[in-house]
C-alpha cells in the first residue's frame, strides 16, 4: 500500500508539473524576428492582369538570408501614377524616368533549410518605382505586408521593406505588353509570430 501511495503522489506531481508548464499558460504571447535577404529575380509578362491598368509579370527569385537560402515566386502589376506619367529621378541623381506604383502583388517565399513558407500581399501603392524608358533601368522600393506562413512562420504577420534595381527588356518588334527582365533586391523582414 505504501508503494501504491508513492506512485500516486509521483503521478500527481507529474500531472501538476505538466499542467503548470502547459502551452496554455503562454497563450497569446508572440515573438518578433528580423530576417534580411539579398535576392536575384527574373520576371516576364504574365498571361493575365489584376483589375487595373498596367502589365502584370510573373517573377521567380532566389537568394540568401540570415536563415539560409530561399526561393520564391509571385505575380505583380504596376502602372503609371498619372496620365501623362509623372517624371522621377533614379538613385544616381541624374537619370530621369517615369513613376509607377504597385497595382497588386502576391508571392510566396520558401526557406530551403526547413521548407517553411512565407506568404505576402502587396496593396495598391505599396511599391513605388522609377523607370527610364530609353534604357529599361528601374529602381523600386516600398513595404509589403506578410499575411501568414507555414512551419515556424505559421500565423506570421508583419512586413518587409524592399529595395531593388533592375532592367526591363522588351524584344524588338514585340507586341505591346511583352516584356521580361531581372533585378537584384534587398528585403528586410520584421515578423511577429505566435509562440
- Residue boundaries of the structural domains of the chain: 27-194
Q: Is 72 exposed, middle or buried (0-12, 13-18, 19+ CB in 10 A)?
A: buried
Query: Whole-model pTM?
Result: 0.80
Phi, psi of 143 (to 5 degrees): -125, 130
Which residue is listed with cell 528601374?
138
- Pairwise CA distance, residues 139 & 52, whole Å: 22
Q: What is the mean pLDDT of residues 138-148?
A: 97
- Pairwise CA distance, residues 47 & 174, whole Å: 15
Tens-digit pLDDT profile for residues 8-28: 333 333 332 233 333 333 556
Residues in the chain: 195
Tens-digit pLDDT profile for residues 25-54: 355 689 999 999 999 999 998 877 887 787
Amino acid at each position: 500500500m505504501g508503494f501504491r501511495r508513492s506512485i500516486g503522489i509521483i503521478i500527481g506531481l507529474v500531472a501538476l508539473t505538466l499542467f503548470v508548464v502547459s502551452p496554455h499558460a503562454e497563450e497569446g504571447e508572440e515573438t518578433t524576428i528580423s530576417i534580411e535577404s539579398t535576392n536575384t529575380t527574373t520576371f516576364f509578362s504574365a498571361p493575365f492582369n489584376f483589375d487595373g491598368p498596367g502589365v502584370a509579370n510573373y517573377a521567380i527569385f532566389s537568394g540568401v538570408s540570415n536563415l539560409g537560402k530561399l526561393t520564391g515566386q509571385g505575380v505583380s502589376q504596376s502602372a503609371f501614377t498619372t496620365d501623362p506619367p509623372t517624371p522621377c529621378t533614379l538613385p544616381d541623381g541624374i537619370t530621369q524616368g517615369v513613376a509607377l506604383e504597385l497595382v497588386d502583388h502576391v508571392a510566396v517565399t520558401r526557406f530551403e533549410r526547413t521548407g517553411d513558407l512565407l506568404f505576402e500581399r502587396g496593396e495598391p501603392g505599396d511599391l513605388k518605382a522609377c523607370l527610364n524608358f530609353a534604357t529599361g533601368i528601374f529602381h523600386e522600393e516600398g513595404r509589403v505586408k506578410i499575411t501568414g506562413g507555414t512551419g515556424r512562420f505559421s500565423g506570421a504577420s508583419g512586413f518587409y521593406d524592399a529595395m531593388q534595381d533592375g532592367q526591363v527588356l522588351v524584344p524588338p518588334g514585340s507586341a505591346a505588353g511583352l516584356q521580361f527582365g531581372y533585378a537584384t533586391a534587398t528585403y528586410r523582414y520584421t515578423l511577429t509570430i505566435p509562440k
